[in-house]
Structure 1
Amino acid sequence: MTGPIWLQWFYVLFWIALISLMAIGGYFMFRKFLKALPKADGKSILDWQEYYIKETLHLWTDEHKALLNDLVSPVPELFRDVAKQTIAGKIGELVVKEEAKQLSQDHIIRGYILATPKRDHKFLIKKLKERNIDISPYQELLK
């Protein structure tokens, strides 16, 4: 005797859900693993991110932090800290490579555009319009 049919379907659906959730979790863990692998220069993407953040940390004012927090507010809370760190790393990279003495709103917006996928740019455009910030200088990056 194999049991009631509803129980058999429950088992099938349970295993499908379990395998699906494990595959999704594995995908995100594998992405993080790839970012932690050292590149040809001996540093990983995460190492460079941390380096750029440390190099520019003294340039961040409360106003800059508030702007970044506002820009990442559409990101789900679970992923928001990771998104902020990634974006801050890209902003730091821009500042270091340009040898800028101050962090500007322009750096923050360009860093956000470069660090995020194109599908997220619509949220950035909406936030910039809410803050009455002209997006025309960034049209080339947004394409």
Structure 2
Amino acid sequence: MMSIILVIWGFLLISLMAIGGYFMFRKFLKRLPKEDGKSIMDWEEHYLEETRHKWKDEEKEFLEELVSPVPELFRDVARQRIASKIGELSINKQENIIQRSTIIEGYIIATPKRDHKFLRKKLKEKSIDTTPYEPLFQQSKDNYDFDWREKYQK
């Protein structure tokens, strides 16, 4: 009986360490500098700092509503990633303040396709038409990583 408990405990301990190591390794990879000398996380922080003054309270609340389905443990990371993509779009569009349409576009681009159903549901609750965003919904997140700017311009 005791040996079974030890085996189960050992398996549980190794499994939890492997899961934690996986997430730590992913964060480490995001911190590695790319060709331009900045990492993914450096660029996220850059876009957040550059656009911090552009956010109005209503837009911050709207973003909070959109990220509310994300489990609380991961919500801060998701919020930062999405807000940085929104900031990048805002800079590219040369907006003076963050627009609701930019928030929706940034959310679509920054999140995996499987999370789009939550966005669609939230937009439907708010009576916001998703028709202008359908081309973005149709693309997968993988396509955004390399050439999302070119596709967005079209």
Establish whether TM, by shorter chain, passes 0.5.
yes
- Cα distance in 2 for partners of 1:96, 1:37 equals 24
1:9 maps to amino acid: I
Paired positions, count: 138
- For residue 92 of structure 1, what is the aligned residue in structure 2? 87
Identity of aligned residues (%): 62
Is 1:130–2:125 an aligned residue pair? Answer: yes
- For residue 3 of structure 1, what is the aligned residue in structure 2? none
**Residues 1-143 of structure 1: matches in 2 within 5 Å?**
6-143=1-138
Residues 56, 97 of structure 2: 8 Å contact kept: no
SS of 2:33 mapped into structure 1: coil
Consecutive aligned runs of 4 or more in structure 1 exceeding 4 Å deviation: none
TM-score by length of 2: 0.87
2:69 maps to amino acid: P
- Cα distance in 2 for partners of 1:13, 1:119 equals 33
TM-score by length of 1: 0.94
SS of 2:74 mapped into structure 1: helix
Q: Deviations over 1:74-100 (max 9, x none)?
A: 001111111101100000011112222
- Cα distance in 2 for partners of 1:110, 1:142 equals 9
Q: Deviations over 1:29-74 (max 9, x none)?
A: 1110011111110111111111111111111000000000000000
RMSD: 0.8
Task: Point out the structure with max Rg over C-alpha.
Answer: 1
Residues 47, 84 of structure 2: 8 Å contact kept: yes
Q: Structure 2, unaligned stretches of length 5 or more?
A: 139-154
Q: Structure 1, unaligned stretches of length 5 or more?
A: 1-5
1:112 maps to amino acid: Y
- Cα distance in 2 for partners of 1:23, 1:141 equals 35
- Cα distance in 2 for partners of 1:9, 1:121 equals 43
